[in-house]
Amino acid sequence: MSLLTDKELNQYRDLVKPASTFEEGFGWKAVFGAIFVGLIMLPAAMYMSMAIGEESIGPAAKWVTVILFLEMAKRARTALKPAEIFILFAMAGTLVSSPTQNFFWRQYLVQSDAARSFGLGEAFPAWYAPSDSAVLDHRSFLMTEWALPLGLMLLTQIVGRIDGLILGYGLFRVTSDIEKLPFPMAPIGAAGVTALSENQSGQEGWRWRVFCIGTAFGMVFMFLYGGIPVLTGTFLKEPFTLLPLPWLDTTVQTQNILPAVPTGLIFDMGHFFIGMALPFFGVLGAFIGLVVMMMVNPFVLLPMGMLPSWKPGMNTVQTVFSNHIDFYLSFGMGLGLAVGVIGIWQCVSSLRRSNRPAIDAAAETAKPVAIKGSRGDIRTWVIIAVYLGSSALYIALCGWLLDWDFRGSQLIWVLLFFAFVYTPFVSYVTARLEGLAGQVLAIPYVRETAFILSGFKGIEVWLLPIPLANYGEDTMQYRIAELVGCSFRSIWKLTIFVVPVLFILSIVYGQLIWSLGPIPSAAYPFASQMWDLLARNECLILSSTQTGFSPFLAALKPAVIAAGGVTGMLSYAALSAFGLPVLLIYGVVKGLGGSIPQALIVQFAGALFGRFVMAKRFGPDRWRQFAPVLLAGYGCGAGLIMMFAVGIKFLSASIFQLPY
């Protein structure tokens, strides 16, 4: 059975038609939007990441920025084009993720108790962060000792963004233009842009109404679920919660019936809406994988002694981690390899069915850059040249930082493997998963295993800018841009403008925040409570190449990896033979041991409600259009409430200082 003829995939492929014309989205409005986000929201995001947590402001910042500019455009008697709205979304999401926050973490890590307890206090190289207390006590990035780390940060940011955009575009050409994959999550982003465009242009159609319904759901539920704990935690000693955060954990209570099985329920309605919007058979496959895991763990693997790390009394996180190390790490690797082989076979089959090399078709028919209306395609040789050049640059940079002294190890071969074997493989598989079911492939502990097997001694290997990335995740933005009619050149122009602006503003605000007081301190509750634990976990990994012992190597079981690969291939063959949707196997990959089961249960409930209640009420085709818009609205409402609650907490922490 071909993916191109899968009925459900074709339904999602046609859910939102690509725009017939492409417009320029980057202009003065995007420039003013970048200035607004950079000056107003960036410092708040940097502060919140240490005071509340990393995801405190990012999702809401995009919606707030776009809605604010839409209202400003209305009062100026103008309007934003869908392409401009899309670029504002992308710009806001990029600007609120400051790379300087990583340097706050670095200055803490090199002088932490965890580093000293593992004997790493003097082991950090100067190109990672200065470890001299005389330098760190100044709490200033404007010192010569920080010049090399900051320079490396800028260089890797530029190269990384170019890689992500160009190589992500190349993978988009393969998975969307050639294989015609549906990208089921792309209509969610496109629907939000379309709904906002309808409203600001005075054409309030069904998308805006459905979007507003989703926004109302998001605001009400997130106020009860997340807003109340944040607000009460601002003024009370202990926050008050109506629903368990992050989930209700019943693993200990059910261990006598289902030993070594994580159980519980998450109350975040966002997963329910995601289940309604995702392809049904993809969600069903994940649930099947979960059920198989719940049966296999207590009745097969545990009696056979294949889950030795599990002990009674472990909670969900501990159980998932122990099972993952004992079995599902290796089994998941085998499944991932099977998915990759299947994807490569499907791509080769697609190319064989073509009468000509389709990968160059879009580029050959693209209009010159100066002509308005072209999608903005580039030729294949440019994609390949960028990939080879960036990979060579990363390898040369790693060699230069090590003074080309690989200490008798096989590290150079590991770098070549990552650059030219693993990165293309995992990027392509992820691009297919994004195109099929909105999922990302993450094969765990590949970096750790490779570094340990390389024989390199020293912690520098963990800190190098290695050529390891997953460019498949960047394909989604191109599909959304295609749906809303935004020229791909706008995305590239945005990057050229945003990267230097982000770097400069990050240094300025980072210097200001660090000069106010030590980080972490009582002013940053999240960092004060969590960074010590995170530092101990990281130092455990860093020290593995110092001592030569690694629990990661012991967790790899070739027989289990092979079993996972065979299981994946046989499952795909069975699905093809019986004509069942191939999305089932991709869902099973997600459900087998690698995800928190609480979220999968709620997603499956949403999928059942959407398919057997809402689809019957509105009709399958119309409901398939409603669901992504509803999810986009829910994300907007939930983000607005959380930004409001976190803003109150931010103001309280900044203004009120109790004398006792």
DSSP class per residue in 82-134: HHHHHHHHHHHHHHTS-TTHHHHHHHHHTTSHHHHHTT-TTTS-TTT----HH
At 514, the amino acid letter reads W
For residue 265, give the H/E element and its range.
Answer: strand 264-265
Q: Is 369 exposed, middle or buried (0-12, 13-18, 19+ CB in 10 A)?
A: exposed
For residues 638 and 64, what is the distance between their CA atoms, to the nearest angstrom?
12
pLDDT at 369: 36
* Whether the predicted pLDDT of 481 surpasses 80: yes
For residues 99 and 499, what is the distance between their CA atoms, to the nearest angstrom?
10
* Whether the predicted pLDDT of 42 surpasses 80: no
- The answer, yes or no, to whether the previous bond of 246 is cis (omega within 30 of 0) is yes
Token reading at 471: 């460019």
Token reading at 252: 């200990």
Name the one residue in this structure whose structure tokens are 């079911």: 437
Those residues whose C-beta lies under 8 Å from the C-beta of residue 379, and which sit 6 or more positions away, are: 360, 363, 364
For residues 192 and 199, what is the distance between their CA atoms, to the nearest angstrom?
11
For residues 604 and 429, what is the distance between their CA atoms, to the nearest angstrom?
24
Those residues whose C-beta lies under 8 Å from the C-beta of residue 658, and which sit 6 or more positions away, are: none
* Cα first-last separation, the chain: 70
Greater confidence (51 vs 372) lies with 51
The Cα angle at residue 123 between residues 119 and 124, in degrees rounded to 5: 125
pLDDT at 608: 92
For residues 411 and 421, what is the distance between their CA atoms, to the nearest angstrom?
15
For residues 196 and 85, what is the distance between their CA atoms, to the nearest angstrom?
8
CA distances in angstroms from 587 to 280, 293, 346, 620, listed in the order given: 10, 13, 18, 21
Name the pLDDT band for 397 (thresholds 50, 70, 90).
very high
At 414, the amino acid letter reads V
Those residues whose C-beta lies under 8 Å from the C-beta of residue 412, and which sit 6 or more positions away, are: 395, 399, 406
pLDDT at 367: 39
Those residues whose C-beta lies under 8 Å from the C-beta of residue 184, and which sit 6 or more positions away, are: 12, 15, 277, 278, 279, 282, 436, 437, 438
Q: Quick check: 384 and 435 in contact, CB under 8 A?
A: no
pLDDT at 101: 66
Tell me what percent of the residues of the chain surpass a pLDDT of 70. 74
Q: Give the residue-averaged pLDDT of 324-353.
A: 69
Strand partners, 183: none
Name the pLDDT band for 373 (thresholds 50, 70, 90).
very low
DSSP assignment of 247-259: -EE-TTTTTTTST
Name the one residue in this structure whose structure tokens are 């409402």: 637
Q: Give the residue-averaged pLDDT of 28-33.
A: 78
Q: Quick check: 506 and 98 in contact, CB under 8 A?
A: yes
Q: Quick check: 165 and 488 in contact, CB under 8 A?
A: no
Residues in the chain: 660
Taking the CB of residue 522, how many other CB atoms lie within 10 A of it? 9
Q: Quick check: 39 and 506 in contact, CB under 8 A?
A: no
Greater confidence (486 vs 552) lies with 486
Greater confidence (582 vs 408) lies with 408
Q: What is the CA radius of gyration of the chain?
A: 25
At 564, the amino acid letter reads G
* Whether the predicted pLDDT of 658 surpasses 50: no
3-state secondary structure of 479: helix
* Whether the predicted pLDDT of 49 surpasses 80: no
The Cα angle at residue 290 between residues 183 and 608, in degrees rounded to 5: 60
At 21, the amino acid letter reads T
For residues 98 and 153, what is the distance between their CA atoms, to the nearest angstrom?
11
Min mean pLDDT across 26-30, 70-74, 303-307 is at 70-74
Token reading at 78: 């103008």
Q: Is 486 left (phi over 0), alpha (psi -120 to 50) or beta?
A: beta
- The answer, yes or no, to whether the previous bond of 500 is cis (omega within 30 of 0) is no
Min mean pLDDT across 56-60, 98-102, 436-440 is at 56-60
Name the pLDDT band for 650 (thresholds 50, 70, 90).
low
Q: Quick check: 194 and 613 in contact, CB under 8 A?
A: no
Token reading at 116: 């000293």
The Cα angle at residue 457 between residues 452 and 459, in degrees rounded to 5: 85
pLDDT at 246: 65
* Whether the predicted pLDDT of 551 surpasses 70: no
Q: What is the largest CA-CA distance in the chain?
A: 78
Greater confidence (437 vs 418) lies with 418
Those residues whose C-beta lies under 8 Å from the C-beta of residue 186, and which sit 6 or more positions away, are: 16, 476, 479, 480, 483
Q: Give the residue-averaged pLDDT of 477-500.
A: 82
Name the pLDDT band for 2 (thresholds 50, 70, 90).
very low
Q: Give the residue-averaged pLDDT of 574-583.
A: 71
> Which range has highest mean pLDDT (368-372, 523-527, 601-605)?
601-605
Mean pLDDT of the chain: 75
For residues 345 and 1, what is the distance between their CA atoms, to the nearest angstrom?
12
Greater confidence (307 vs 230) lies with 307
Strand partners, 265: 248
* Whether the predicted pLDDT of 233 surpasses 70: yes
Greater confidence (490 vs 396) lies with 396
pLDDT per position as a tens digit, 151-174: 888 888 888 888 888 888 888 888
HSE-CB of 217 using CA atoms within 13 angstroms: 18
Name the one residue in this structure whose structure tokens are 């954990």: 249
Name the pLDDT band for 88 (thresholds 50, 70, 90).
confident
Greater confidence (586 vs 462) lies with 462
3-state secondary structure of 162: helix
Token reading at 482: 């295609």
Q: Give the residue-averaged pLDDT of 92-110.
A: 74
Name the pLDDT band for 7 (thresholds 50, 70, 90).
low
Q: Give the residue-averaged pLDDT of 206-216.
A: 79
3-state secondary structure of 597: helix
pLDDT per position as a tens digit, 623-646: 877 887 787 778 777 777 776 776
Tell me what percent of the residues of the chain surpass a pLDDT of 90. 2
